Amino acid sequence: MEKNNSLPKILYVEDDDISREVVSRFLSDCCEVDTAENSEEAFVKIREVHYSAVLVDMNLGRGLTGLEFCKKLSEDPYYKNVPRIAVTAYAMREDEKTIRSGGCTHYIAKPFDRKSLIKLITSALDEF
């Protein structure tokens, strides 16, 4: 986590309202969470704010897929060195390999619990 007293600012890109709410609540004690419903909204937000990490659902419904979004994000000079965490129901070993090689630095499979998500976020932030 960040060394100062402020909480790290996280962007969660997810097309499902309930999932956005659950993750926001899971992380409320350790992170300041912004959400975006799709890649278009996410790109607007990342131009306005420098996030400490970005969580991205791999199946965003419309527009870019989560993997396409992470690939583009990894090409941004600032976000190249920011954790890009895939959140997905695709849980096979081969899926994880594809996701990690496609621009994501970390991966968490749905369903996950609060403790697992916080542990992953903390670890990812400490790495960068």
| 33 assigned to some structural domain | yes
Q: How many domains does the chain have?
A: 1
pLDDT in tens, 41-62: 999 999 999 999 999 999 998 8
Got the DSSP string for 22-67?
Answer: HHHHHHTTT-EEEEESSHHHHHHHHHH---SEEEEES--SSSS-HH
pLDDT in tens, 72-106: 999 999 999 999 999 988 767 777 788 888 889 99
CATH of the domain at 47: 3.40.50.2300
| 97 assigned to some structural domain | yes
Does residue 8 register a pLDDT over 50? yes
| 4 assigned to some structural domain | no
| 32 assigned to some structural domain | yes
Q: What is the DSSP letter of 102?
A: T
| Residue 74 structure tokens | 């990894």
